[in-house]
Structure 1
Amino acid sequence: MEDVVAIRGNRTVKRLGALIALGAAAFLMLMKAHTAYGAGGLALNTDYPGISVKPGDNLNIPVMLENGTGSSLNADVKVSSMPEGWEGYLQGGSYQISRIHVKNGNEGGEMTLHVTVPKELTEGSYTVEVSAFAGEGIADTLPITFMVNEANAGKGSFTSEYPQQEGTAGTNFSFSATLINNGLKQASYSLSSNAPAGWSVSFTPTGESTKVAAIEVESGVSKGMTVSVTPPEGVPAGEYNISCSAVSAEETLSTDLKVVITGSYGLTVGTPDDRLSFDAYAGRTSDVTLTVKNTGNVDLENITLNSSLPAGWTVSYNMENNLIPSIPAGGSVDVVAHVKPGSESITGDYVNSFTAQCDQTQGSADFRVSVKTKTVWGIVAVVIILCTAGGLGYVFRKYGRR
């Protein structure tokens, strides 16, 4: 009986040992298979894991996903981490993708990471992460670092050495400006300004004589230029802000200029039709219209009218006390002058000078006056001649046939 029990016990132990051995073998095989599958795993990589960028850049970065698991598989892919304000996605072929089929081995799968950098950005280092996942333990993450240095964060620059100048109306202002391209490639900049209406602004590269509307600047190079600013005639005194821009495909740069127009004064005397001559008769009053113009950029007040005439002549104006109360900057006033040559004036040409004057300035003009006298005896002679001719006609009619 004991032998039977011993035999059965041995069989049980053997069976138990066989089961344990079988389980251990199965476990080892499973572990071996899992290790082989996950040892190689997935690997994300790119040729340029660190890139310098500028605000507003749009980047296309090739990304490779390699499969070392021993068999082809489908992997979920995504942009798993992105700085605030940045935008990005993965593209495969012509599609935006979230999953990619990856063959085993070195061939792998190709993707493109599209990244849009915000237009407003401070200096520093920024990281974007791309992730791939095909099951537990079969995953990888690729960090890509984007560096923004001080030059790139500030883009290029467009500056003027002396951005504020002053002068009277009619002054031509010249500003010395410098345009710097901090980009990684040559750029073409269009040049423009927002000057007030009537103002003229032009750009001339340093060392050249030709005005330009655009300029090419190599990467990392600065270009000097002269910004010429011409205000319109008679511009009022005051401060004028002029912003000049340099615009390329990747950035817009600007520099702010200021022109201070100081007061300028001027008066001219003329006529509505610009004729500086008129006819007059001795002893009789003739009228001439004078145009008094304020050619400055400041309003003028209390403009007095004066004249320089030959002896015996007189002049008066249709203005009380020969005074013009005010003329605005750029404005004009018409005045009628009543000119009376002396009664003893003989026929001929005379010069009359008219002057408009105020505390700040004055203007004058010389007029040629053609004086004519009354021909009373000439009229009498004409009457005598007519009478004589009539008498002779009568005599010829009466005695002509005898």
Structure 2
Amino acid sequence: MEEAIVTKPSGKRRRWAFLAAFMAAVLFLFLNVHTAYAAEGLKLSTDYPGISVKPGDNLNIPVTLDNYTGSGLDAEVKVSAMPDGWEGYLQGGNYQVSRIHVKNGEAGAEMTLHVTVPKELTEGTYVVEVGASSASGLSDTLSISFLVNEMKAGKGSFTSEYPQQEGTTGTNFSFSTTLINNGLKSQSYSLSSNAPAGWNVSFTPTGETTKVAAIEVESSTSKGMTVSVTPPEGIAAGEYDISCSAVSAEETLSTDLKVVITGSYGLKVGTPDGRLSFDAYAGKEADVTLNVTNTGNVDLQDVSLNSSLPSGWTVTYNLENNVIPSIPAGSTTEVIAHVKPGSEAITGDYVNTFTAKCDQAESSADFRVSVKTSTIWGIVAVVIILCTAGGLGYVFRKYGRR
């Protein structure tokens, strides 16, 4: 019986066999990797898939569409899901797009997702989805989360462009202010001030004429207002602080205003009873009581008195050098004027002007002066009339019967 002869492979053949097996393994691994790479198909991505926003934001979010199919293709793209009240679209280049060509491999197609966040929101997380699909059935969806919370909303503000103004007594002040609502919803603000007693403060929305006590401001918007401040008459010089408040159910905002009243000057010449007339006789003095009032809020010094008189008239005052040394703010000084019409003045009405003057102010008043005939001349006239009448009676009696 013949024995089978088993020939062992030589070392060279074993090396070739090992090399063939190694190459087969590498090829198998390469094919598997390539197959997995191609199976990914289309892929949507963005660098920041979760962000925080506030009401009213307008966002521009870069989105990339990659193609791993092995060849370029056209893909349909769209904003596939959007919360109620939100708005959005996809832009490629300078165009709003719904279809985009995507090259194979690493050079993906770039798009921009434009999102408009509503002005009113409750806090929470909102999701926007972008979808891509090809004619061959490949598709992908990208979800982007938007977080809205009170911390992001922040507090509003109430500010004035020029919070300090100055002027004299009688000046009406006007402040331009801005009220900002950074909350997540519209707010109604009640408006008020803590002005000193006697001051008047009012609020008028910019561009309107109606004064308001409250104003509605939408979320993430601002409203301009004019705050009008009227001080009381005769207010003393000084600095006055006025705080204005805007109060809603969510917050209390305030802005501090300052009014600086500078010195105001004024004089007024009159009489205790208000009458600007008096009687006088030719060649005789007539006394007139004058009231000289400081209508400003600063003391006046060295107020001089003078007058404009008809020719031949004179006037003197119960003052040294016709000067009032000082008149405190808001006070009245009484002066006696001694007016003497000329001796040749005839009966009738004349105008006499009295003037009070200092370095800061001046005032005048015109008086009507009625010049009357002296009593002695009236008696003389009566005597003359009686004598004339008696003479005529005598003549008629003596010669009347002839």
Superposition TM-score, scaled by structure 1 size: 0.56
Per the TM alignment, residue 147 of structure 1 is displaced from its structure 2 partner at its CA by 6.5
Aligned AA (2:151): N
Aligned AA (1:251): E
Q: Distance in 2 between matches of 1:388 and 1:341?
A: 32
Q: Distance in 1 between matches of 2:349 and 2:279?
A: 9
Aligned AA (2:176): S
User: Would the aligned equivalents of 2:204 and 2:211 in 1 still touch at CA under 8 Å?
Assistant: yes
Per the TM alignment, residue 203 of structure 1 is displaced from its structure 2 partner at its CA by 0.6
| SS in structure 2 of the partner of residue 321 of structure 1 | helix
Taking structure 1 as reference, are residues 302 and 221 closer, same or farther at Cα in structure 2, changes over 3 Å only?
same
What is the CA deviation profile of residues 115-148 of structure 1, one whole-angstrom value per residue up to 9, with x for unaligned ones?
Answer: xxxxxxxxxxxxxxxxxxxxxxxxxxxxxxx976
What is the CA deviation profile of residues 221-264 of structure 1, one whole-angstrom value per residue up to 9, with x for unaligned ones?
Answer: 21111011122223222222111111222322110111122222
Q: Which residue of structure 2 lines up, in the alignment, with residue 313 of structure 1?
A: 313
Q: Distance in 2 between matches of 1:302 and 1:229?
A: 34
Aligned AA (1:163): P
Q: Which residue of structure 1 lines up, in the alignment, with residue 371 of structure 2?
A: 371
Q: Which residue of structure 2 lines up, in the alignment, with residue 166 of structure 1?
A: 166
Q: Which residue of structure 2 lines up, in the alignment, with residue 216 of structure 1?
A: 216
| SS in structure 1 of the partner of residue 379 of structure 2 | helix
Taking structure 1 as reference, are residues 208 and 293 closer, same or farther at Cα in structure 2, changes over 3 Å only?
same
Aligned AA (1:199): W
Q: Distance in 2 between matches of 1:226 and 1:386?
A: 82
Equivalence map 1:228-377=2 (5 Å): 228-377=228-377
Per the TM alignment, residue 151 of structure 1 is displaced from its structure 2 partner at its CA by 5.1
Aligned AA (2:336): V
User: Would the aligned equivalents of 1:284 and 1:340 in 2 still touch at CA under 8 Å?
Assistant: yes
Aligned AA (2:317): Y
Aligned AA (1:187): Q
Q: Which residue of structure 2 lines up, in the alignment, with residue 149 of structure 1?
A: 151
Q: Distance in 2 between matches of 1:345 and 1:175?
A: 60
| SS in structure 2 of the partner of residue 378 of structure 1 | helix
| SS in structure 2 of the partner of residue 149 of structure 1 | helix
Q: Distance in 2 between matches of 1:328 and 1:384?
A: 57
Equivalence map 1:17-56=2 (5 Å): none
Taking structure 1 as reference, are residues 282 and 377 closer, same or farther at Cα in structure 2, changes over 3 Å only?
closer
Per the TM alignment, residue 212 of structure 1 is displaced from its structure 2 partner at its CA by 0.9
User: Would the aligned equivalents of 2:150 and 2:184 in 1 still touch at CA under 8 Å?
Assistant: no
Aligned AA (2:359): D
Q: Distance in 2 between matches of 1:377 and 1:269?
A: 35
Q: Distance in 2 between matches of 1:211 and 1:311?
A: 58
Q: Distance in 1 between matches of 2:372 and 2:165?
A: 57
Superposition RMSD in Å? 3.0
Q: Which residue of structure 1 lines up, in the alignment, with residue 77 of structure 2?
A: none
User: Would the aligned equivalents of 1:345 and 1:373 in 2 still touch at CA under 8 Å?
Assistant: no
User: Would the aligned equivalents of 1:158 and 1:180 in 2 still touch at CA under 8 Å?
Assistant: yes
Per the TM alignment, residue 205 of structure 1 is displaced from its structure 2 partner at its CA by 0.5
User: Would the aligned equivalents of 1:234 and 1:329 in 2 still touch at CA under 8 Å?
Assistant: no
Q: Which residue of structure 2 lines up, in the alignment, with residue 101 of structure 1?
A: none
Q: Distance in 1 between matches of 2:228 and 2:377?
A: 70
Structure 1 moving runs of 4+ over 4 Å: 383-390
Gaps of 5+ in 1: 1-50, 53-145, 391-402
Q: Distance in 1 between matches of 2:293 and 2:175?
A: 32
User: Would the aligned equivalents of 1:301 and 1:358 in 2 still touch at CA under 8 Å?
Assistant: yes
Aligned AA (2:201): V
User: Would the aligned equivalents of 1:199 and 1:230 in 2 still touch at CA under 8 Å?
Assistant: yes
Q: Distance in 2 between matches of 1:236 and 1:247?
A: 32
Q: Distance in 1 between matches of 2:252 and 2:166?
A: 28
Per the TM alignment, residue 382 of structure 1 is displaced from its structure 2 partner at its CA by 3.7
Aligned AA (1:340): K
| SS in structure 1 of the partner of residue 209 of structure 2 | coil
| SS in structure 2 of the partner of residue 379 of structure 1 | helix
| SS in structure 2 of the partner of residue 224 of structure 1 | strand
Per the TM alignment, residue 272 of structure 1 is displaced from its structure 2 partner at its CA by 2.2
Q: Which residue of structure 2 lines up, in the alignment, with residue 225 of structure 1?
A: 225
What is the CA deviation profile of residues 173-206 of structure 1, one whole-angstrom value per residue up to 9, with x for unaligned ones?
Answer: 1111011122233222221111122222111001
Q: Which residue of structure 2 lines up, in the alignment, with residue 185 of structure 1?
A: 185
Per the TM alignment, residue 296 of structure 1 is displaced from its structure 2 partner at its CA by 1.9
Aligned AA (1:347): T
| SS in structure 2 of the partner of residue 225 of structure 1 | strand
What is the CA deviation profile of residues 4-35 of structure 1, one whole-angstrom value per residue up to 9, with x for unaligned ones?
Answer: xxxxxxxxxxxxxxxxxxxxxxxxxxxxxxxx
What is the CA deviation profile of residues 264-294 of structure 1, one whole-angstrom value per residue up to 9, with x for unaligned ones?
Answer: 2221211223222111111222121211111
Taking structure 1 as reference, are residues 356 and 192 closer, same or farther at Cα in structure 2, changes over 3 Å only?
same
Taking structure 1 as reference, are residues 217 and 148 closer, same or farther at Cα in structure 2, changes over 3 Å only?
closer
Q: Distance in 2 between matches of 1:151 and 1:293?
A: 59
Q: Distance in 2 between matches of 1:354 and 1:381?
A: 35
Taking structure 1 as reference, are residues 347 and 384 closer, same or farther at Cα in structure 2, changes over 3 Å only?
closer
Q: Distance in 1 between matches of 2:248 and 2:337?
A: 62
Q: Distance in 2 between matches of 1:311 and 1:346?
A: 12
Q: Distance in 2 between matches of 1:320 and 1:328?
A: 19
